[in-house]
Structure 1
């Protein structure tokens, strides 16, 4: 339930061929920077403008004057990067996305139609097609003890071997306002997270994470 094929439709990202190399999505995190630098060289100059070294922006994208685009990054077609957004670098942002006011992105892949519209921090994470993070929701990407992140699914523990790993949101995931996705969070397709939740571990597809940590399948809800 937490492989790349379980979580994502690869038809909706320029990172499809890159991600196909891996089984688990967190395996792709360490190579995002180099991947973007290589991908940028192949982009059609008639469609993408290279604004500075390592920064490519589609000509239909709207980048507000106060937004910061750190290299390397790619901003896709019809995407909006709004007021005071801070893209620190190593960010592939797909088509028809929203990177909103005061949002910070770092070492991420955003599939097409992803929305991070208000005061979000997204680091060392992959957000699937049509996923949405409510206002103030964040991915926490480093454990307080600075040890390697473990993905927990009930009693099962998967050693990732990496210290920086935020969240993997499957396609059509909805994260509620002011929710925190703790390091190593994996949320399956079509699942929802209640506002102000503190999420950790694996949330199955088609589920709801409630604010007390209870997980229910959508078919079983009242």
Structure 2
């Protein structure tokens, strides 16, 4: 959907293993952890935070793992970096900035008191003081983030997505980029400007926006990871069929939204933590199969002998069946 090379010219050169942007952003923390293992030995790595010896970090800076601070970077006092951050090289982060789940391109300057969240920022970009990439629609009832690519309205499948800002862009002081903003290289955003590329009115009036299978699946998986059952069910058909298969034997079959919700609410109590990570997609006819890496910490003693606090790691598959823009059947296989 998004050709990142059209916006950040060296992105694929710098991160050849990166998935496409809308798959990368939800799993950026895991991606940063992997990138740390590929760094030169010159980096000082401690507790999944890698800092190049030429970087300058002022007092009272908080960096939460995982993070990579590249050559010649500067981080001003009281800045806060969290949930997977890469500063490539000669990046300047000013006083009091917050950077969350983002990759910042080389020689980019984020002035001071800025927020950059769930975003990919190109090279030699300048954010003046107080400008922000908003990453969540707090005010909308439908919080899905849609993007506009050359006039085509697309569901990103994400509830947290800031912006993709192309190389050499200039963002004026106190400007706001609404969730899902896509800026071509050398775009200038004026001071105090609000960029809203897909408004609610646009969605209401545009009945032909594109919602891909991958977007619906990502929406479901993100809802699962966040214990948000409403989000999990957003794209379900009212007569959804859910099945769980373990070792070739069907353990569960549910029909209908209400039955699924009851089971999903009950299942939440079994986990202290849980996370599905999508490894791959495979389309066939009206079905899409995804491979899943699954991690969980059990939250209560279970009849199968697993104990509270025990870690669970496994690989599995989920098969989604579609009719139009609805999921009519979901089969989990492990």
Q: What is the alpha-carbon distance in structure 2 between the residues aligned to residue 36 and residue 66 of structure 1?
A: 23
What secondary structure sits across from 1:17 in the alignment?
A: coil
Alignment RMSD, CA only? Answer: 1.9
Contact 1:109–1:125 (CA under 8 A) maintained in structure 2: yes
Alignment map for 1:96-115 (pairs within 5 Å): 96-115=90-109
Q: CA deviation at 1:32?
A: 1.1
What secondary structure sits across from 1:84 in the alignment?
A: coil
Q: What is the alpha-carbon distance in structure 1 between the residues aligned to residue 51 and residue 83 of structure 2?
A: 13
Alignment map for 1:113-152 (pairs within 5 Å): 113-144=107-138, 145=140, 147-152=143-148
Contact 1:92–1:110 (CA under 8 A) maintained in structure 2: yes
Contact 2:116–2:133 (CA under 8 A) maintained in structure 1: yes
Give the TM-score normalised by structure 1.
0.83
Judging changes above 3 Å, is the alpha-carbon distance between structure 1 residues 2 and 196 closer, same or farther for their aligned structure 2 residues? farther
Any idea what the Cα deviations from partners look like across 1:158-182, whole Å, max 9, x if unmatched? 1110100011100001000000000
Any idea what the Cα deviations from partners look like across 1:51-107, whole Å, max 9, x if unmatched? x31100000000112111110000000000111010123001110000110000000
- Count of matched residue positions in the alignment of Structure 1 and Structure 2: 196
Q: What is the alpha-carbon distance in structure 2 between the residues aligned to residue 97 and residue 174 of structure 1?
A: 15
Q: Mind listing any 5+ residue stretches in structure 2 that lack a counterpart? A: 199-334
Q: What is the alpha-carbon distance in structure 2 between the residues aligned to residue 176 and residue 130 of structure 1?
A: 14
Contact 1:12–1:112 (CA under 8 A) maintained in structure 2: no
Q: What is the alpha-carbon distance in structure 2 between the residues aligned to residue 12 and residue 26 of structure 1?
A: 15
Q: CA deviation at 1:156?
A: 2.6
Judging changes above 3 Å, is the alpha-carbon distance between structure 1 residues 154 and 188 closer, same or farther for their aligned structure 2 residues? closer
Q: In the alignment, does 2:4 pair up with 1:4?
A: yes
Alignment map for 1:33-52 (pairs within 5 Å): 33-45=29-41, 47-50=42-45, 52=46
Any idea what the Cα deviations from partners look like across 1:169-212, whole Å, max 9, x if unmatched? 0000100000000001011001100000000228xxxxxxxxxx
Q: Mind listing any 5+ residue stretches in structure 1 that lack a counterpart? A: 203-222
Contact 1:2–1:186 (CA under 8 A) maintained in structure 2: no
Give the TM-score normalised by structure 2.
0.56
| Higher Cα radius of gyration | 2
Judging changes above 3 Å, is the alpha-carbon distance between structure 1 residues 13 and 126 closer, same or farther for their aligned structure 2 residues? farther
Q: CA deviation at 1:114?
A: 1.2
Any idea what the Cα deviations from partners look like across 1:115-158, whole Å, max 9, x if unmatched? 11211000000100111111100010001236110013575311
Moved over 4 A (4+): none
Which residue, 160, 167, 171 being the options, matches 1:171?
Answer: 167
Q: CA deviation at 1:11?
A: 5.9
